[in-house]
Structure 1
């Protein structure tokens, strides 16, 4: 098999990926956690390819944290499939810097994604306005992306069920010392009702509110809402994440 491609252009970055069994569920379909992980990884790879590594941005005290993400699954990628992942910056909306993605194969579109990021001073943890970003001029996507906008997810006050507790363990953590953003997809699927675990969502939304760290216990709560399921992970200081699965 030929080497996987990587293409850097002025306003886009493409990286090929081959899915392996570990990326997929029991039916060899890409897990939502895999799609979330791809989005986070390719965003970092885009900036790495431009010489703006995490270490460089940390030194400049201008790093990104993923705030919200929304994806639409047109056709679910499968184990051993080679896919093209293309990402573009897409300007600024209020306090968020936006980034979009398409995951494709030879037959066309598989998954489309929109994401919102916040700019943070890593030393003080202070959130900064996007206009203070100095590392590069932010780009915009030249094409329409067939994905929903990220949204604020709120569970109703009544009809919410207690799903159990999820303790944060060593293998959940990333290099920042908190739960890796992609892992929350598995958190959600592990606590969905059994009939929904079998399904591939049409759309998925997640909000990242507070970091979860080693040893913390998240209280998982959720509710059905028509053809959707809403879920929250509640930590000692409030909501860590909120998710919405649309089937």
Structure 2
């Protein structure tokens, strides 16, 4: 994905990119993992443009760990399509920071994402108080609106779907599965498969980090077009995902 241009403000960061062929899946549209990566990169670029990029913050003893991504999809972008990603800090609730993303093709809103994360110590991942990030004096400590707050997925009665071993290429710079990879895991193990189907809404909760060589035991189920999937690592529940799935529109 190659950036075409960017606009930097404290309250909004905007970048325009062209979708690369390697980000597109079997249905000729952007993969879920690539959409999540697009958002992750956009938020990192926003902080870097304001002088508090990943390396600076890590040296100061702060990293961000994503807790939840909640995605609403009208249409996934196609190969080589030019899209604009806008992101806005939305405040905090308790220890969690909120940030939204909007993906456009021209004036057409393609997808929206609400993301929550926490600031943590990079060595032991101990959760830090939001004030330690707000101490940079760049963002204002505001409370996210109650209607925008995300709640954790609850599930029971799911059936075994298989296992997924964590490989080296899954890892990010924090040493665990990159959050975007869970999009691939979800689409690989979704009951009924993804061929001929599309996602309209997806929520992924990142609960317990999975490390190199560990095995995720996957369980899932579908009811009335809503698919739920959970992965368990040796320490317990690693992640939960829930999605609204529909048949793909006819060409």
Superposition TM-score, scaled by structure 2 size: 0.89
1:64-104 deviations in Å (ceiling 9; x for gaps): 11001101111221111010011111111122110011000
CA distance in 1, matches of 2:242, 2:126: 28
Conservation of the 8 A alpha-carbon contact between 1:220 and 1:234 = yes
Closer/same/farther in 2, CA of residues 32 and 148 from structure 1, 3 Å limit: farther
Conservation of the 8 A alpha-carbon contact between 1:11 and 1:89 = yes
For 1:214, what is the secondary structure of its paired residue? coil
The residue that corresponds to 2:160 in the other structure is 162
For 1:171, what is the secondary structure of its paired residue? helix
| Structure 1 residue 151: Cα displacement | 2.6
CA distance in 2, matches of 1:96, 1:3: 29
CA distance in 2, matches of 1:234, 1:195: 20
Closer/same/farther in 2, CA of residues 232 and 47 from structure 1, 3 Å limit: same
The residue that corresponds to 1:151 in the other structure is 151
Does residue 1:135 correspond to 2:136, yes or no? yes
Alignment coverage as a number of residue pairs:
240
CA distance in 1, matches of 2:38, 2:23: 10
The residue that corresponds to 2:91 in the other structure is 91
Stretch moving more, 2-11 or 211-220: 2-11
CA distance in 1, matches of 2:103, 2:141: 18
Stretch moving more, 183-192 or 221-230: 221-230
| Structure 1 residue 112: Cα displacement | 0.7
The residue that corresponds to 1:243 in the other structure is 241
The residue that corresponds to 1:28 in the other structure is 28
The residue that corresponds to 1:114 in the other structure is 114
The residue that corresponds to 2:203 in the other structure is 205
Q: How does 1:171-182 map to 2 (within 5 A)?
A: 171-182=169-180
CA distance in 1, matches of 2:199, 2:151: 17
The residue that corresponds to 2:230 in the other structure is 232
Which runs of no fewer than 5 residues in structure 1 stay unpaired? none
Which runs of no fewer than 5 residues in structure 2 stay unpaired? 246-251
Closer/same/farther in 2, CA of residues 115 and 154 from structure 1, 3 Å limit: same
Superposition TM-score, scaled by structure 1 size: 0.90
